Amino acid sequence: MNFKVKFKKIVKKNNSLLCVGLDIDKDKMPKHLFKNSKNPYLEFNKKIIDSTKDLVCAYKLNMAFYEVLGKNGLEILENTIEFIPDDIVIIIDGKRNDIGNTARKYAQSMFETFGADAVTINPYLGKDGIVPFLEYGDKCSFILCRTSNPSAIDLQDVKISKKPLYELVANKIREWDNLGICGAVVGATYPAELKTIREILGDEIPMLIPGIGAQGGDVEKTIKFGTNKNKENAIINSSRGIIYADTTMNFSKASRKEALILKKKINMYR
């Protein structure tokens, strides 16, 4: 199914712009799972999904947390994706890119091998590294534009022709969107920049917005500046603040509670 169609349908069905990040980390996960479960990581993800699937529009899986587990981690990634309901958007967060031929294999891996609806990619190599992803015309490529980390300013605020680099990237995303479905990754921790980028992108290009929750992004400003004129077309991600809300036997109930709180807060400003 075309990404934009699938995204619009699930937003309407669940009345949600919330994305839950499934970033599995043994150091943060409930300890009892590693004593009682044959596959603690997969069981953890399944319980989180079961407890939040009516509250979200998307799940985001960061490749680093799966790749570090080797072959078993990739199996967990595949099995988690298979478990996610078909109508919910699946984002694989790998921030991949390289020259054309290698980028093409990265795109094939993310979209064909793992079955993602959307991916995150790095724009540093320019158009040559973007086009192979956009050739999957029914998928979405979220391009790093203004990331949520504090040191983003080291490069992304550098002035080029009197404009910060992130503005130039935003303009390129709008240009590249004519070749396929582009999106932008813009951190909630930089609301002024979020506003500027939304103005550049217009209403039709979706944003993936991390930085809510553990990183301290403001929900009201995120909705005000990150959504389009219909208060839509934004995917607002929270990972640690939801999935690690509790480490007891009741962790999935606690995750649902936190997801519901954040969903309601997001919708309060829509």
The catalytically annotated residue of 8, 95, 195, 253 is 95
**Could you tell me the two tokens for 112?**
């064909």
Q: Tokens in use for 246?
A: 């509790």
- Following DSSP, what letter does each residue of 46-93 receive, concatenated? HHHHHHHTTT-SEEEEETHHHHTTTHHHHHHHHHHHHHS-TTSEEEEE
Backbone angles phi, psi at 159, to 5 degrees: -85, 130
Q: What is the dihedral of CA 212, 142, 5, 191, to 10 degrees?
A: 40
- The answer to whether the CB of 185 falls within 8 A of the CB of 144 is yes
Nearest to 146 by CA among 159, 157, 135: 157
Q: Is 229 a catalytic residue?
A: no
DSSP 259: H
Q: The tokens of 235 are what?
A: 């995917």
Do the bridges between strand 18-21 and strand 159-160 make them parallel or antiparallel, or are there none, so unpaired? unpaired
Active site positions, annotated: 95
